[in-house]
Protein backbone atom coordinates (compact mmCIF):
# COMPACT_ATOMS: atom_id res chain seq x y z
CA UNK A 1 0.00 0.00 0.00
CA UNK A 2 1.17 3.49 -0.55
CA UNK A 3 0.18 6.76 1.01
CA UNK A 4 1.27 10.30 0.50
CA UNK A 5 2.76 12.17 3.38
CA UNK A 6 1.39 15.61 3.90
CA UNK A 7 3.45 18.17 5.58
CA UNK A 8 1.59 20.76 7.54
CA UNK A 9 3.02 23.70 5.64
CA UNK A 10 1.90 22.64 2.13
CA UNK A 11 -0.98 21.14 0.26
CA UNK A 12 -0.97 17.91 -1.66
CA UNK A 13 1.57 18.39 -4.37
CA UNK A 14 2.65 16.07 -7.12
CA UNK A 15 6.20 16.12 -5.87
CA UNK A 16 5.25 14.84 -2.42
CA UNK A 17 7.16 11.92 -1.06
CA UNK A 18 5.52 8.50 -1.47
CA UNK A 19 5.78 6.22 1.53
CA UNK A 20 5.34 2.50 1.09
CA UNK A 21 4.05 0.53 4.03
CA UNK A 22 4.83 -3.10 4.37
CA UNK A 23 1.84 -5.34 5.00
CA UNK A 24 2.05 -7.39 8.14
CA UNK A 25 2.35 -11.11 7.47
CA UNK A 26 -0.70 -13.14 8.34
CA UNK A 27 -0.46 -14.91 11.66
CA UNK A 28 0.98 -18.41 11.37
CA UNK A 29 -0.84 -20.32 14.00
CA UNK A 30 -2.98 -23.44 14.27
CA UNK A 31 -6.15 -21.37 14.19
CA UNK A 32 -5.48 -20.07 10.67
CA UNK A 33 -7.98 -21.53 8.20
CA UNK A 34 -6.48 -21.74 4.72
CA UNK A 35 -7.89 -23.01 1.45
CA UNK A 36 -5.46 -25.90 1.56
CA UNK A 37 -6.65 -26.97 5.00
CA UNK A 38 -10.27 -26.70 3.93
CA UNK A 39 -9.66 -28.88 0.86
CA UNK A 40 -7.74 -31.47 2.87
CA UNK A 41 -10.52 -31.56 5.43
CA UNK A 42 -13.18 -32.02 2.74
CA UNK A 43 -11.15 -34.80 1.13
CA UNK A 44 -10.84 -36.62 4.46
CA UNK A 45 -14.58 -36.30 5.09
CA UNK A 46 -15.39 -37.56 1.56
CA UNK A 47 -13.14 -40.61 1.89
CA UNK A 48 -14.56 -41.41 5.32
CA UNK A 49 -18.11 -41.12 3.96
CA UNK A 50 -17.28 -43.50 1.09
CA UNK A 51 -15.75 -46.07 3.43
CA UNK A 52 -18.66 -45.93 5.87
CA UNK A 53 -21.22 -46.01 3.04
CA UNK A 54 -19.54 -49.02 1.47
CA UNK A 55 -19.49 -50.85 4.79
CA UNK A 56 -23.17 -50.13 5.46
CA UNK A 57 -24.43 -51.08 2.00
CA UNK A 58 -22.27 -54.16 1.51
CA UNK A 59 -24.27 -57.34 1.53
CA UNK A 60 -22.98 -59.75 4.14
CA UNK A 61 -22.43 -63.05 2.36
CA UNK A 62 -22.18 -66.35 4.22
CA UNK A 63 -20.14 -68.16 1.55
CA UNK A 64 -17.45 -67.03 -0.85
CA UNK A 65 -17.95 -69.89 -3.32
CA UNK A 66 -20.96 -71.47 -5.00
CA UNK A 67 -22.30 -74.38 -2.90
CA UNK A 68 -22.11 -77.90 -4.43
CA UNK A 69 -25.91 -78.05 -4.77
CA UNK A 70 -25.78 -75.30 -7.42
CA UNK A 71 -22.59 -76.34 -9.22
CA UNK A 72 -23.30 -77.56 -12.74
CA UNK A 73 -25.26 -76.52 -15.79
CA UNK A 74 -28.95 -75.73 -15.66
CA UNK A 75 -31.09 -75.42 -18.83
CA UNK A 76 -34.47 -73.77 -19.25
CA UNK A 77 -37.20 -76.34 -19.87
CA UNK A 78 -39.66 -73.80 -21.35
CA UNK A 79 -39.76 -74.51 -25.13
CA UNK A 80 -39.86 -70.79 -25.95
CA UNK A 81 -36.69 -70.16 -23.94
CA UNK A 82 -34.84 -73.43 -24.56
CA UNK A 83 -31.66 -71.54 -25.52
CA UNK A 84 -31.32 -70.02 -22.01
CA UNK A 85 -29.01 -71.71 -19.53
CA UNK A 86 -26.93 -70.96 -16.45
CA UNK A 87 -23.73 -72.67 -15.36
CA UNK A 88 -22.39 -72.43 -11.83
CA UNK A 89 -18.76 -73.15 -10.99
CA UNK A 90 -17.19 -72.64 -7.55
CA UNK A 91 -16.02 -69.09 -8.38
CA UNK A 92 -17.95 -68.28 -11.57
CA UNK A 93 -21.45 -68.10 -12.94
CA UNK A 94 -22.11 -68.04 -16.68
CA UNK A 95 -25.45 -67.01 -18.13
CA UNK A 96 -26.38 -68.36 -21.57
CA UNK A 97 -28.29 -65.50 -23.18
CA UNK A 98 -29.59 -67.34 -26.22
CA UNK A 99 -27.85 -68.66 -29.31
CA UNK A 100 -24.12 -68.50 -28.73
CA UNK A 101 -24.29 -65.48 -26.38
CA UNK A 102 -23.06 -65.84 -22.83
CA UNK A 103 -21.98 -63.68 -19.89
CA UNK A 104 -19.33 -65.01 -17.54
CA UNK A 105 -19.29 -63.35 -14.12
CA UNK A 106 -17.18 -63.75 -10.96
CA UNK A 107 -19.08 -64.87 -7.87
CA UNK A 108 -18.37 -62.56 -4.92
CA UNK A 109 -20.54 -64.27 -2.34
CA UNK A 110 -23.54 -66.52 -1.73
CA UNK A 111 -26.18 -66.64 0.99
CA UNK A 112 -28.24 -69.79 1.54
CA UNK A 113 -31.58 -69.89 3.39
CA UNK A 114 -34.25 -72.55 3.89
CA UNK A 115 -37.59 -71.33 2.53
CA UNK A 116 -40.25 -73.94 3.19
CA UNK A 117 -39.24 -77.04 1.28
CA UNK A 118 -37.06 -75.08 -1.12
CA UNK A 119 -33.65 -73.53 -0.60
CA UNK A 120 -33.17 -69.88 -1.45
CA UNK A 121 -29.78 -68.72 -2.70
CA UNK A 122 -28.77 -65.08 -2.99
CA UNK A 123 -25.79 -64.72 -5.32
CA UNK A 124 -23.67 -61.58 -5.49
CA UNK A 125 -21.61 -61.47 -8.67
CA UNK A 126 -19.57 -59.01 -10.70
CA UNK A 127 -19.67 -58.74 -14.50
CA UNK A 128 -16.74 -57.88 -16.78
CA UNK A 129 -17.32 -54.15 -16.21
CA UNK A 130 -17.03 -54.84 -12.45
CA UNK A 131 -20.66 -53.90 -11.90
CA UNK A 132 -22.13 -55.77 -8.96
CA UNK A 133 -25.38 -57.66 -9.36
CA UNK A 134 -27.54 -59.52 -6.88
CA UNK A 135 -29.85 -62.35 -7.92
CA UNK A 136 -32.03 -64.72 -5.94
CA UNK A 137 -32.97 -68.22 -6.96
CA UNK A 138 -34.90 -71.12 -5.49
CA UNK A 139 -33.88 -74.79 -5.69
CA UNK A 140 -36.49 -77.42 -4.85
CA UNK A 141 -35.97 -80.06 -2.15
CA UNK A 142 -34.79 -82.69 -4.64
CA UNK A 143 -32.13 -80.29 -6.03
CA UNK A 144 -33.24 -80.84 -9.63
CA UNK A 145 -35.32 -77.72 -10.26
CA UNK A 146 -34.19 -74.09 -10.19
CA UNK A 147 -36.14 -70.83 -10.57
CA UNK A 148 -34.93 -67.23 -10.48
CA UNK A 149 -37.16 -65.11 -8.23
CA UNK A 150 -37.22 -62.24 -10.74
CA UNK A 151 -38.53 -64.61 -13.48
CA UNK A 152 -40.55 -67.27 -11.63
CA UNK A 153 -42.29 -68.39 -14.81
CA UNK A 154 -39.00 -69.84 -16.18
CA UNK A 155 -38.10 -73.26 -14.84
CA UNK A 156 -34.54 -74.63 -15.12
CA UNK A 157 -33.54 -78.28 -14.80
CA UNK A 158 -30.11 -79.73 -14.14
CA UNK A 159 -28.42 -80.71 -17.41
CA UNK A 160 -27.37 -84.38 -17.39
Provide the CATH number for the domain around residue 96. 2.30.30
Long-range contacts of 14-22 (CB under 8 A, 24+ apart): none
C-alpha span between 114 and 158 (Å, rounded): 20
In which domain, by residue range, is 80 found?
72-158
In a domain, 104, yes or no: yes
Predicted confidence (pLDDT) per residue in 105-118, tens digit:
999 999 999 988 89
Predicted confidence (pLDDT) per residue in 32-62, tens digit:
778 888 888 888 888 888 777 666 555 566 7
C-alpha span between 90 and 71 (Å, rounded): 7
In a domain, 107, yes or no: yes
Q: What is the pTM of this model?
A: 0.61
C-alpha span between 76 and 10 (Å, rounded): 105
In a domain, 52, yes or no: no
Cβ neighbours, 10 Å, residue 88:
24
Contacting residues for 89 by C-beta, under 8 A, at least 6 apart: 66, 71
C-alpha span between 93 and 160 (Å, rounded): 18
Q: How many domains does the chain have?
A: 1
In a domain, 27, yes or no: no
Q: Name beta bridge partners: 68.
A: none
Amino acid sequence: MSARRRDEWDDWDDDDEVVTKKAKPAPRGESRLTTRRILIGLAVVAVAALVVGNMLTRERMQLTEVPPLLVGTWTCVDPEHSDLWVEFRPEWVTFGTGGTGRNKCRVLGVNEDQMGEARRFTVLYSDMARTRHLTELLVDASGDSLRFTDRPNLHYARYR
